[in-house]
C-alpha cells in the first residue's frame, strides 16, 4: 500500500507546483520558437533515379535482380552521384561558392548533398539542402542528370570497346578467308582434276576395248594352233604364219594394256594428291567461313545489345522547388522543448520529494532514539 500512497504524494506534490512546470514549459517553448525563428531557413529538394536491370529474358538475370547481393551491388551508383568531381561541377554550375562562403568542398558536400539507395529498392535518391529552394532543386536535378549521363557514357564506352574488338576480329577473319579463297583459286588453276578424271574414264573405255581385242587375238591364236595340228603339209606354212601374227598382235595388245595401266597408276596418284590438297584447303576454307559467320553473329548481337548490357539509370523524378523549409522544423522543436520543459521540472521535483522523505525518516529515527534513551 506504500507505493500508491507515494505515487499519490508525488502527484499531489507536482500539482502543487504546477506554476513552476507551466513556467518551465513556457520558457522552453519560447526559447525553441526564438531559436527556430532565428535560424536560417534551409530547403531540401530530392531527385529520384530508378536503376533498371540489364535488358534480356534470362531467368537467372531476373532472379539475381531481386537478390540481396544485387541490391547491395547497387550502392555502386551512390559513389557515382557522390563523387567529388561531380560535386565540384555542380558547385560551378549552381554558383554555390558565393552562397556558402569560403567553406571547403568537402564541408559543403557533407552539409548539402545526401545520396542513398532506398532500402530493398532500385531507387536512388539524391537530396540537396540549401537556403535557396530553387538552387536546391537545380543542384539535385543536375547531380541526377550527371549521374545518369556518367553511367550511360560508361556503358556506351564498354559497348564500343566490345564492338571495336569484334570488328577487329571480323577484319582478321575476313582477311584470312580472302587468303584461303585466293589459295583455293590458285589451286583450282594449278592443279585441275577434271582432265585427269576424264583421262581415267577414257582409259577405262580403252582398256575394255583392248581386253576385247586381246581376247580376239587369243581366239585367233588358239584357232591357228588347232588348224596347224590338223592342216596337211601344204597348209602348214599358212597356219604357222597366222599363228605368229595372232601371237604378235596379242603381245602388242598386252604391252599397250601394261603401258595404259602404268599411265593410269600415275594419273591416280596425281589425282589422289590433288584431291587431298583440295580437301585440306576446302576444310580450311569452310572453317574460316564458319569462324567469320560466328564473329558476324556476335557483332550483330553486340550492336543490337548496345546500351542494354548494363544497368540503365532513368530519372523518374527530377524534384520540385520546395515550398516549405526542411530546417528548422519549428513544430518539432517546440514539441521537443515542451517535453523537455515538463520533464526536467518533474524530474527535479521527484528528486526533491525523495530527499524530503529521507529527511523525515531521519528525523523520526532520531526522535525514536531519543525516547529510548
**In whole angstroms, what is the distance from residue 340 CA to residue 24 CA?**
9
Longest dimension (CA), the chain: 196
Whole-number pLDDT of residue 168: 92
**In whole angstroms, what is the distance from residue 27 CA to residue 41 CA?**
23
Whole-number pLDDT of residue 54: 75
**Distances, alpha carbon 217 to alpha carbons 99, 235, 250, 298, in Å:** 124, 21, 5, 72
| pLDDT per residue as tens, the chain (373 positions) | 344 445 666 677 667 777 887 888 888 888 877 776 777 788 899 999 998 887 654 444 545 555 777 778 788 888 888 888 888 888 877 777 666 666 777 888 888 889 999 888 889 999 998 888 898 898 999 999 999 888 888 888 888 888 889 899 999 999 999 999 999 898 888 888 888 788 878 878 887 887 887 787 777 777 767 666 666 666 667 766 776 777 787 788 788 888 888 888 888 888 888 889 989 999 999 999 999 999 999 888 888 877 666 778 899 999 899 888 877 767 777 888 788 877 887 777 777 777 766 666 666 666 666 666 5
> pTM for the complete prediction?
0.56
**In whole angstroms, what is the distance from residue 83 CA to residue 109 CA?**
10
DSSP conformation letters of 1-65 = -HHHHHHHHHHHHHHHTHHHHHHHHHHHHHHHHHHHHHSPPBEEEEEEEEEEPPPS--HHHHHHT
Whole-number pLDDT of residue 255: 83
Whole-number pLDDT of residue 293: 92
Whole-number pLDDT of residue 172: 93
In terms of CATH, what superfamily is 168-305? Helix Hairpins (1.10.287.620)
The strands making up 113-117's β-sheet, listed across from edge to edge, are 113-117, 123-130, 43-52, 312-317
Whole-number pLDDT of residue 65: 53
**Distances, alpha carbon 237 to alpha carbons 223, 248, 249, in Å:** 15, 16, 18
What contacts 70, CB < 8 A, 6 or more positions away? 53, 64
According to DSSP, the residues that pair with 50 across neighbouring strands are 123, 314
Length of the chain: 373
Tell me the residue ranges of DSSP E strands in 204-249. Answer: none
Q: Using an 8 Å Cβ cutoff, are 39 and 327 in contact? A: yes
* 3-state SS, one letter per residue, for 102-115: CCCHHHHHHHHEEE
What contacts 208, CB < 8 A, 6 or more positions away? none
Set of cell numbers at residue 122: 532500385
What contacts 84, CB < 8 A, 6 or more positions away? 105, 106, 109
Burial environment of residue 187 by CB neighbours within 10 A (0 to 12, 13 to 18, 19 or more) = middle
Whole-number pLDDT of residue 5: 43
- Domain map of the chain by residue range? 1-39+328-356, 168-305
Amino acid at each position: 500500500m506504500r507505493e500508491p500512497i507515494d505515487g499519490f504524494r508525488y502527484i499531489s506534490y507536482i500539482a502543487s507546483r504546477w506554476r513552476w512546470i507551466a513556467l518551465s514549459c513556457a520558457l522552453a517553448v519560447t526559447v525553441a520558437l526564438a531559436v527556430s525563428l532565428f535560424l536560417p531557413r534551409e530547403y531540401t529538394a530530392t531527385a529520384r533515379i530508378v536503376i533498371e536491370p540489364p535488358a534480356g529474358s534470362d531467368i537467372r538475370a531476373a532472379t539475381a535482380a531481386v537478390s540481396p547481393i544485387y541490391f547491395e551491388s547497387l550502392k555502386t551508383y551512390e559513389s557515382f552521384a557522390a563523387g567529388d568531381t561531380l560535386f565540384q561541377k555542380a558547385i560551378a554550375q549552381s554558383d554555390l561558392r558565393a552562397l556558402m562562403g569560403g567553406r571547403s568542398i568537402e564541408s559543403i558536400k557533407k552539409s548539402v548533398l545526401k545520396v542513398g539507395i532506398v532500402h530493398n529498392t532500385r531507387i536512388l535518391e539524391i537530396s540537396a539542402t540549401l537556403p535557396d529552394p530553387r538552387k536546391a532543386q537545380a543542384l539535385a536535378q543536375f547531380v541526377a542528370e550527371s549521374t545518369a549521363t556518367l553511367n550511360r557514357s560508361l556503358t556506351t564506352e564498354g559497348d564500343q570497346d566490345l564492338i571495336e574488338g569484334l570488328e577487329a576480329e571480323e577484319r582478321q577473319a575476313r582477311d584470312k578467308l580472302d587468303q584461303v579463297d585466293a589459295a583455293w583459286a590458285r589451286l583450282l588453276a594449278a592443279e585441275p582434276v577434271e582432265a585427269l578424271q576424264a583421262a581415267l574414264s577414257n582409259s577405262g573405255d580403252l582398256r575394255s576395248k583392248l581386253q576385247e581385242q586381246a581376247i580376239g587375238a587369243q581366239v585367233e591364236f588358239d584357232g591357228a594352233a588347232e588348224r596347224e595340228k590338223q592342216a596337211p603339209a601344204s597348209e602348214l606354212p599358212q597356219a604357222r604364219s597366222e599363228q605368229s601374227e595372232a601371237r604378235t598382235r596379242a603381245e602388242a595388245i598386252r604391252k599397250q594394256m601394261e603401258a595404259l595401266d602404268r599411265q593410269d597408276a600415275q594419273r591416280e596418284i596425281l589425282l589422289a594428291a590433288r584431291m587431298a590438297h583440295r580437301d585440306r584447303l576446302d576444310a580450311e576454307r569452310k572453317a574460316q567461313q564458319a569462324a567469320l559467320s560466328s564473329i558476324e553473329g556476335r557483332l550483330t548481337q553486340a550492336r543490337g545489345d548496345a546500351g542494354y548490357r548494363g544497368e540503365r539509370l532513368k530519372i523518374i523524378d527530377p524534384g520540385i522547388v520546395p515550398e516549405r523549409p526542411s530546417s528548422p522544423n519549428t513544430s518539432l522543436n517546440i514539441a521537443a522543448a515542451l517535453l523537455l520543459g515538463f520533464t526536467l521540472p518533474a524530474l527535479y521535483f521527484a528528486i526533491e520529494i525523495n530527499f524530503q522523505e529521507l529527511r523525515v525518516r531521519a528525523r523520526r529515527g532520531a526522535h525514536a532514539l531519543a525516547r529510548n534513551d
